[in-house]
Amino acid sequence: DVKVTQSSRYLVKRTGEKVFLECVQDMDHENMFWYRQDPGLGLRLIYFSYDVKMKEKGDIPEGYSVSREKKERFSLILESASTNQTSMYLCASSPIIQGSYNEQFFGPGTRLTVL
Amino acid sequence: AQKVTQAQTEISVVEKEDVTLDCVYETRDTTYYLFWYKQPPSGELVFLIRRNSFDEQNEISGRYSWNFQKSTSSFNFTITASQVVDSAVYFCALNPTSGTYKYIFGTGTRLKVLA
């Protein structure tokens, strides 16, 4: 069964801490994504990676960075957590088939609370 | 502008009723893909359907059906004879193919099916 896993379901951190959210997919997908989900705002793209060590900013990259050292792993880093980064974080992956982007496979999400 | 609008924030129905979730999109691309995802209380988004812009055939899968109308830029989702297990947040998403990886998500519709 194909899977996207995220390192934690729930996380509580303090303001100013450095936070790492890990995502691993076992489907050999080229593309990986980090979104945050907030009530009334839907899913907003933070960062996207289309290959190892390659990344592109999404709609709301401020305060975040990412790392993709291996194809299956995509990490989201909050350099200095702030309370407005309290949210649900969703990781996704998708293959490229015939040059087009396809459905995304999502992980279970990490609900991060920054105090 | 590229945009997905799900005007219904929340819908409540009684079990066995039919329900339609609306999705209206905006894009200047002639080629694009539309998706529906389901997010149950567990949090993980589950892919339901992918439709490309050249295929306006309606689709039925069990109790689920989708009505794609390019003339009105809509891609509506109907659940027939709803069940309690259909309770979830449903997201419509657009993937324009103008060289972009971006998936544009609507804000979601929360469906509550009451026993």
Average pLDDT over residues B40-48: 90
Contacts of A109 in chain B (CB under 8 A): 43-44
Q: Which one, of A114, A103, A115, lies nearest residue A21 by Cα? A: A114
- A100 CB neighbours in chain B (<8 A) are 33, 97
Looking at residue B5, its pLDDT comes to: 96
Q: Which residues of B touch A42 (CB under 8 A)?
A: 91, 105-108
Considering only CB atoms, A48 lies closest to which of B101, B105, B107, namely B101
Spatial contact of A103 and A2, defined as CB atoms under 8 Å apart: no
What residues form DSSP beta bridges with A11? A112
Instruction: Please tell me the distance from the alpha carbon of residue A50 to that of residue A56, in angstroms, as a whole number.
Output: 8
Q: B8 to chain A: which residues are within 8 Å by CB?
A: none
**Tell me, what's the pLDDT at B56?**
83
A88/B43 CB distance under 8 A: yes
Q: Which residues pair with B58 in a beta bridge?
A: none
pLDDT tens digits for range B99-110: 567 789 999 999
Q: What is the pLDDT along chain A (115 residues), one digit of tens a residue?
A: 668 999 999 999 999 999 999 999 999 998 999 999 998 888 999 999 988 989 999 989 999 999 999 999 999 999 999 999 999 999 999 887 666 667 889 999 999 999 9
Top residue of B8, B45, B46, B92 to mutate, by most chain A CBs within 10 Å, is: B45
**Tokens, residue B33:** 């893909």
Q: Is the pLDDT of residue B9 over 70?
A: yes
**Chain B residues with a Cβ under 8 Å from any Cβ in chain A:** 9, 33, 35, 37, 42-47, 50, 91, 95, 97, 101-103, 105-108
* The pair of three-digit structure tokens given for residue B52, joined into one six-digit string: 């490309």
Q: How far is A3 from chain B, CA to nearest CA, in Å?
A: 11
Contact A112, A91 (CB under 8 A): no
**Cross-chain CB nearest to B45 (options A58, A106, A111):** A106
Q: What is the pLDDT of residue B102?
A: 78
User: What does the DSSP 8-state code read for residue B70?
Assistant: G
B51 to A96, A99, B36, B55, B89: CA distances (angstroms): 16, 16, 9, 7, 20
